[in-house]
Chains A and B, each alone.
Chain A
Amino acid sequence: MVRSALGAPRKIGEGPPSYAPYIPALTVVAASLMSALPIVSVSGWYPDFAFLVLISWRLHRADPFPAWWAAPLGLINDLFTGSPLGFSVASWCAAILALDLADRRTMWRDYWIEWVLAAVLIVIEQWFEWRVAAWSGADVPLVQMAPPLVIAILMFPVAAWLVSRIDRWRLAR
C-alpha cells in the first residue's frame, strides 16, 4: 500500500481526456474510411464495418454519442462507401431508435441478448440495402445476400470486443 503510493503519481480528481466523448463517433468515421483500403472485393462479402461499430457502441453504452449523431455519421458513411446518399442516414437513425426502444423493453442484458439484437439489426439493415440496390437497378437474388449476412453476424462479437477495448482506453486516466 505504502509502496504503491510512492510509485507513479496518480492523477487524483482528474477525468478522462477532454476529447474522450468524441472518440466513439471518430471510431465510426474511421470504420467508414475502411472502404478506402486498397482491397478489391470481387464478391462483396465484407461486412459493413461502420454499422457494426455503430451498433457495438450503442449496445455497449446507452450514451456513446447523442442519438441524432447517427444522421451525420450515416451521411459520412454514404459518401465514403458510395451507397446511395441517405441510405445509412435513414437506416442508422432507425437502428439507434430501435435500440432505444429495446432498452426500455429488455429486463436484463447479457452477451447473447446483445448478439441477437445486433443480428436482428444486421438482417434488417442488409435487407434494406438489398431493396435499395434493387430500386437503383441491381436486382440481385436474395440468396446471394446470405454469405455476407452470416459473415457480418459472426463479425459482431469482434467489433463489440474492439469497441469495449477502445472504451476502456478512452476512459482510462
Chain B
Amino acid sequence: MATARPGSSRKAQYGLFFGLIAVIAGIIVGLVLLAVSLVSPTSFERLRGGALDITGEIAGSLHAVTATASGLASGATDYWDAARQNGALKRERHRMLERMIEAKAILQENRQLKAALGLRDESKSAVAAGRIVGSSFSSPRRFAILSIGGADGLQIGMPVRSAEGLVGRVIDLGQHSSRVLLVSDRASIVPARLLRGGQPVIAQGRGDGTIDVRPLEVGRNPFKRGDIIITSGTGGLYPPLVPVAKVVKLDDDGAVAIPLADPATTSFAIAEPPFEPKAEEASAKADSAADPR
C-alpha cells in the first residue's frame, strides 16, 4: 500500500509513474528477447555458455562433496552385508562368463559376415568424457549439465552416451560445461529400433523422465513389456546399436519406456562426434530445400 498513493509530493508521483513505465518496458524487452530466442535458439550462445560455465563449476564442486558423502555411506553398507553380496556376485560372474562366450561367438560370426559383405566399420573415438553434475529442476524441459565443454572439444549437437545407454545430445556449450538435451525431453526424437526383431520405431521423450515409443509402420502394437529399444543410426546423428530405453507399459499404438541411462545415477558420460555428419548435412539441406523458410 505504501506505493499506491504517494500523496501530494510531485517527486514521489513521478517516481511511481516512471517505475510503472520501467516495469512495462521490462515486460516488452522480455517478450522481445523471448521471441528472438524462440525463433533462433543460437542467438545468445555466448552469453548462455558463460552462465553455464558458472553453473557447471558450482555444480561440479558440490557434486564432488555429495559423491564423497554418498560413497562413504554406500561403502559402509557394502561392508555390512559383504558375505551375501559375495555369493550373489559369484553367481552373477558365472552367468556373465556364459554370456561372454556366447557374445564372443556372435562377434566372430558378425565379423565374418561383415567381411563377406565388404562393410567397413568407421570406428568413432569419444571426444571427451565427463560427469553429469546437475539438471533442470522446474521446467517441462529435461536438461542435464555435463562437466565438459568447448575446451574439451565438444560441439553443439554431439550425441552423449554413458555405459548404460544413450543420454542425449549437446544443446548449449560453455568452455568447461555443457547442457545436454536428455532423451526424455519432449523435443528429443531418436530414430530407433526394437532389439527383438529389429522393427524401426521412433523414441520421443515425454518430459517426465519417460520415453514414448511408437512403431514407424502403422499396424499391430509390436511392443512387449521388457523390450529393449536401441538406436538405429538413421538420420546420422546418433550412432547405431546404443541402448536407449526399456519398455515398461503398453498403450494403444505404442508403449512407454524408461531410459536405460538414468541421468540421476549415471556417473560418467562420453560425447561422440555425430555418427555420419555428411548424412546429417545432406538431410538438413534437403529439409531447407523442401521448406524455404
The proximity string for B residues 106-140 relative to A, scoring 1 for CB distances below 8 Å and 0 otherwise, is 00000000000000000000000000111111111
Given A42-B262, A70-B23, A90-B34, A33-B138 contact (CB < 8 Å): no
Select A44's contact among B3, B24, B33, B137, beta carbons within 8 Å: B137
Q: A161 at interface (Cβ–Cβ under 8 A)?
A: no
Q: Do A40 and B3 touch across chains, with their CB atoms under 8 A apart?
A: no
Q: A148 at interface (Cβ–Cβ under 8 A)?
A: yes
The proximity string for A residues 64-98 relative to B, scoring 1 for CB distances below 8 Å and 0 otherwise, is 00111011001100011111111111111110110
Residues of A near B36 (CB, < 8 A) are 85-86
Binds B, one of A2-10, A19-27, A139-147: A139-147
Q: A38 at interface (Cβ–Cβ under 8 A)?
A: yes
Q: Do B55 and A132 touch across chains, with their CB atoms under 8 A apart?
A: no
Q: CB-nearest residue of chain A relative to B184? A: A42
Q: Which residues of B (6-55) have their CB < 8 Å from a CB of A?
A: 19-20, 22-27, 29-38, 41, 44, 47-48, 50-52, 54-55
Count of A interface residues, CB-CB < 8 Å? 60
The proximity string for B residues 48-76 relative to A, scoring 1 for CB distances below 8 Å and 0 otherwise, is 10111011101110110010000000000
Q: B290 at interface (Cβ–Cβ under 8 A)?
A: no
Q: B274 at interface (Cβ–Cβ under 8 A)?
A: no
In the complex, what distance in Å separates the CA atom of A71 from the CA atom of B29? 8
Q: Which of B34, B59, B143 has the most CB of A within 10 A?
A: B34
Residues of B near A75 (CB, < 8 A) are 33
Shortest beta-carbon distance, A80 to chain B, in Å? Answer: 5
Q: List 12 A-B contacts (CB under 8 A).
A: A38-B60, A38-B63, A38-B134, A39-B134, A44-B141, A62-B1, A82-B143, A82-B179, A85-B44, A93-B23, A100-B3, A138-B185
Interface residues in chain A, defined as those with a beta carbon under 8 Å from any beta carbon in chain B: 33-44, 46-49, 62-63, 66-68, 70-71, 74-75, 79-94, 96-97, 100, 103-104, 129-130, 132-133, 135-140, 144-145, 148, 152
With contacts A35-B137, A87-B34 known, what are 8 further pairs, Cβ within 8 A? A35-B55, A36-B58, A38-B66, A44-B136, A47-B137, A62-B1, A103-B3, A133-B207
